[in-house]
Amino acid sequence: MLGSQLVVRALARQGVTTVFSLSGNQIMPVYDACLDAGIRIVHVRHEAAAVSMADAWAQVTGGVGVALLTAGPGLANGLAPLMSALHAESPVLLLSGDTPLAEDGMGAFQELDQAGMTRPVAKAARRVRGLDELAGAVDQAIALALAPRRGPVHLALPFDLLTADTGLAELPPLPTAEPMPHADAATIDTLAALLAQARSPLVLAGPDAARAHSHAAWQARGERLATPVLRLESPRGLRDPSLGAAAECLAGADLLVLAGKPLDFTLGFGRSTVFAPQARVVVLDPDPALVARARRLLGDRLALACVCEPGAALDAAAARVAPERTDWRRKVAGALAARNQANPAPIAPGRIGSRALCEQVQRFLATAAEPIVVCDGGEFGQWAQAICQAPVRIVNGVAGAIGGGLPQAIAAKIARPGATVVVLMGDGTAGFHLMELDTAVREAAPVIAVVGNDLRWNAEHQIQLRNHGPGRLVGCQLAESARYHAVAQALGGFGAAVRAEADIAAALRQAQASGLPACVDVAIDGQPAPVFSAVPTAGH
């Protein structure tokens, strides 16, 4: 068995059926081995798209998503979405071809310290250095990617190992799984006492709690604890428009439990200007480094810190927590549902409001079979995240990158062929990966891309407008002549341009009925991202 065959058989043994890739010299042996193993290769138009697809596959299925990139520039192209996967807590296995070990230090073609490059944006990165390591390296990487806190792992595979005969006819046994860190009895007692004494506690959970495979467990956990659970997966933290006006509740919280949610910029580093002065903080996290960071930042406001799997610790404590806290829970639920805007800006003539577009998309999703919604970043993306919901939802994540939405939607459709997959993105974002509509056509993955076209990079436009004034706008305008729907048509998909709100619903139905990958280009007014209040306002 060749090294490449051993790698692929190790993937197949772990249940991998699909790999996202762009072909290149150093990974051809892996392609050939995938043919014999029956593993599907979804080949894309840019390496970044392959990693975004693996990220989405992991989020939708709950299993590991696999991206396969060639060496040098191929790997480098995948770095940005690898960072997004890390902050989204997505279990991704990134495999890359690499220069032969026998040519190390000789100036080999595309020679590069690959693991050194990816290590800052992955849970772990490793260059395999011997045939005896190959199968074990794949197994260990997948186990690590799936272990709390989930995240991407990179393996660089030297070409001479892939083409060498391993001398093996069978795979070595799977390694024994590492036990998860657990809280001890004294910690559970303290946690239960803190929760029982609190009048207005909040549990702040990380991105993995927002995934479809975790959502029900966290919802039930909140019920048992009689404590609201907020799932944070945006760089805006508690000011994520998806959370409505939840940030307004923070001032009233007397206990904050960070359940796998890192204390970082999204929470204002835990400063007293963000967390109420009276609030005590509990940190439950599987990463010792993040627990140590919380100790340093919180000082005497830290009531309890434990390196553990947070869900299990809360479940153990829940058996001893009995308070109702009905009024507090009702208040937080109302804030989460709030979509009230004070003094919304008027919509420019001939344009459609971002809110109106997203509400039309939500009506479409509400009647669709197995809806999945993907919301990319930017100002329009914030509107999409605020208004559009589905049992499975993917957002651009804590890393704050834009552009991955279309590849993520394609991977979601491949993972769930019966689903109705809609991706919402701005016209700036569309420029990153619109050519992946070609991939969607080739792979028979009919997704519906809704482009909110406001003729600019609106997030930067809004920053310049606020900080420098209307006379200092530069580098934000996009071409009015661009026809994004025509790109879809040219690539073999369906395209429609919408210039009136009354036409949105019909365009979405036509896109779905076409059975083709689709792009609906909608002329919107460039509104800033929404800020919601729990206080009702006129018209909302």
What CATH number corresponds to the domain at position 123? 3.40.50.970
- Model pTM? 0.96
In this prediction, residue 276 carries a pLDDT of 86
252 domain residue, yes or no: yes
Query: Do 49 and 196 share a domain, yes or no?
Result: no
Q: Which of 65, 61, 59 is nearest to 19 (CA)?
A: 65
Q: If you ran DSSP here, which 8-state letter would residue 270 be given? A: G
190 domain residue, yes or no: yes
Query: Do 98 and 247 share a domain, yes or no?
Result: no
Query: Do 301 and 226 share a domain, yes or no?
Result: yes
Query: Do 153 and 194 share a domain, yes or no?
Result: no
348 domain residue, yes or no: no
Query: Do 23 and 118 share a domain, yes or no?
Result: yes
Sign of the alpha-carbon dihedral angle for 509, 381, 264, 328: negative
Query: Do 327 and 427 share a domain, yes or no?
Result: no
In this prediction, residue 97 carries a pLDDT of 97
CATH for 210: 3.40.50.1220
In this prediction, residue 65 carries a pLDDT of 98
Q: Which of 221, 288, 289, 233 is nearest to 257 (CA)?
A: 221
pLDDT means per 10 residues, the chain with 540 residues, are 96 97 96 97 98 98 98 96 98 97 92 96 97 91 95 98 93 84 94 95 96 93 95 93 93 96 95 88 97 96 96 92 88 94 86 96 97 95 96 95 97 98 97 97 98 94 93 94 97 98 98 98 94 72
Query: Do 307 and 448 share a domain, yes or no?
Result: no
423 domain residue, yes or no: yes
Q: Could you tell me the CA-to-CA distances from 206 to 87, 129, 215, 238, 313 in Å, in that order?
A: 9, 35, 11, 12, 15
Full domain range(s) for residue 56 = 3-162
In this prediction, residue 439 carries a pLDDT of 98
Is 235 in contact with 205 (CB distance < 8 Å)? no
535 domain residue, yes or no: no
In this prediction, residue 537 carries a pLDDT of 62
Report the alpha-carbon distance of residue 449 to residue 390 in Å, rounded. Answer: 16
Give the total number of structural domains in the chain. 3
Report the alpha-carbon distance of residue 386 to residue 340 in Å, rounded. Answer: 11
531 domain residue, yes or no: no
Q: Which of 404, 366, 393, 416 is nearest to 215 (CA)?
A: 393
* 300: number of Cβ within 10 Å: 6
In this prediction, residue 538 carries a pLDDT of 54
Query: Do 359 and 330 share a domain, yes or no?
Result: no
In this prediction, residue 358 carries a pLDDT of 97
204 domain residue, yes or no: yes
Is 453 in contact with 463 (CB distance < 8 Å)? no
Query: Do 135 and 224 share a domain, yes or no?
Result: no
322 in helix, strand or coil?
A: coil
Query: Do 261 and 330 share a domain, yes or no?
Result: yes
172 domain residue, yes or no: no
